[in-house]
């Protein structure tokens, strides 16, 4: 199945892929009986290489492969523990869906969900939309998602959230939509409520949100504000909440950092 890079020139995509040894290794695994996994990726490519300060505690837009590998090394265990917890709250849908991964980075959220659910979930992915302002991260994410969703078209959008149009989400009224927000809604610099509104179409939507739980530099208040907006009386004419579960927890890894997760399922009409 094809992958589409809407605003990256084909020559740039080829060049970016050639500079990332992880992509070649991921592609080689497609021809074996061993699927790509988070533990394999981090063990193979996560390394301390002197770029940690440039990650800005995981908030920077990454520009080189070394930063991707440093992120895997430095932040990978925390990301894994967040998704291990949130995935335990999820039940798998058996309906075909469109997946939109916001600020997908190098594709770790999708990979960790695949580790947990495998084809029981991703076998029903009919369309994947990856949104990420870092072109070097986006091409690695595409390689990972191509491995875990081999039969789905993948649409790659290299933009910041404030620059997105409704068409960038590749809307499809025939599909349910799964929205993935991994450590992005807590970051300042964009209107998280307008972003969410812009992405909605008629039909069933499930949002899976996980982030640090903190009270500064953006933080979990941005998630709470989005939750309040979605659940407000003003939204009732066109949003029907089916399930909303927001929890705070400790990450089960050496950092024991605080985290917040939110699972939202809703039906949207009259968009």
Span 182-230, pLDDT tens digits: 999 999 999 999 999 999 999 999 999 999 998 887 789 999 999 999 9
Span 9-60, pLDDT tens digits: 999 999 999 999 999 999 998 877 678 999 999 999 999 999 999 998 888 8
**All domains in the chain, ordered by first residue:** 77-268 (3.40.50.150)
Residue found under tokens 């080689």: 28
Tokens found for residue 87:
């995935």
> What local confidence, expressed as pLDDT, does residue 271 receive?
66
> Both ends of the chain: CA-CA distance in Å?
30
Q: Is residue 3 within 8 Å of residue 138, measured between CB atoms?
A: no
Q: Which residue, among 236, 239, 187, 250, has the nearest Cα to 55 in the 3D structure?
A: 187
Burial class (CB in 10 A: 0-12, 13-18, 19+), 108: buried
Beta-carbon contacts of residue 32 (< 8 Å; ≥ 6 apart): none
d(CA 137, CA 110) in angstroms, rounded, equals: 14
Paired with 146 in beta bridges are none
Cα 101 → chain centroid: 4
Span 132-184, pLDDT tens digits: 999 999 999 999 999 999 999 999 999 999 999 999 999 998 999 999 999 99
d(CA 101, CA 161) in angstroms, rounded, equals: 12
> What local confidence, expressed as pLDDT, does residue 215 receive?
84
């Amino acid at each position: 199945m094809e992958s589409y890079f809407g605003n990256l020139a084909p020559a740039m995509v080829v060049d970016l892929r050639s500079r990332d040894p992880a992509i070649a290794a991921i592609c080689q695994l497609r021809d074996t009986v061993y699927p790509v996994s988070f533990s394999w990726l981090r063990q193979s490519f996560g390394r301390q290489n002197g770029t940690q300060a440039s990650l800005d505690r995981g908030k920077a837009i990454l520009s080189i492969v070394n930063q991707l590998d440093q992120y895997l090394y430095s932040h990978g265990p925390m990301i894994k523990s967040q998704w291990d917890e949130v995935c335990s709250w999820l039940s798998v849908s058996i309906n075909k869906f469109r997946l939109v991964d916001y600020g997908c980075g190098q594709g770790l959220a999708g990979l960790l969900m695949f580790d947990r659910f495998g084809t029981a979930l991703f076998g029903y992915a009919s369309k994947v939309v990856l949104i990420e302002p870092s072109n070097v991260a986006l091409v690695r994410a595409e390689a990972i998602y191509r491995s875990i969703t081999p039969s789905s078209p993948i649409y790659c959008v290299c933009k910041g959230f404030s620059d997105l149009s409704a068409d960038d989400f590749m809307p499809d009224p025939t599909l349910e939509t799964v929205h993935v927000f991994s450590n992005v809604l807590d970051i300042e610099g964009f209107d998280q409520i307008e972003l969410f509104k812009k992405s909605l179409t008629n039909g069933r939507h499930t949002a899976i949100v996980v982030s640090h739980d903190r009270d500064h530099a953006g933080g979990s208040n941005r998630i709470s504000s989005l939750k309040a907006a979605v659940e407000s009386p003003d939204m009732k004419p066109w949003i029907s909440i089916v399930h909303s579960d927001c929890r705070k927890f400790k990450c089960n890894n050496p950092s024991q950092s605080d985290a917040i997760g939110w699972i939202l399922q809703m039906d949207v009409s009259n968009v």
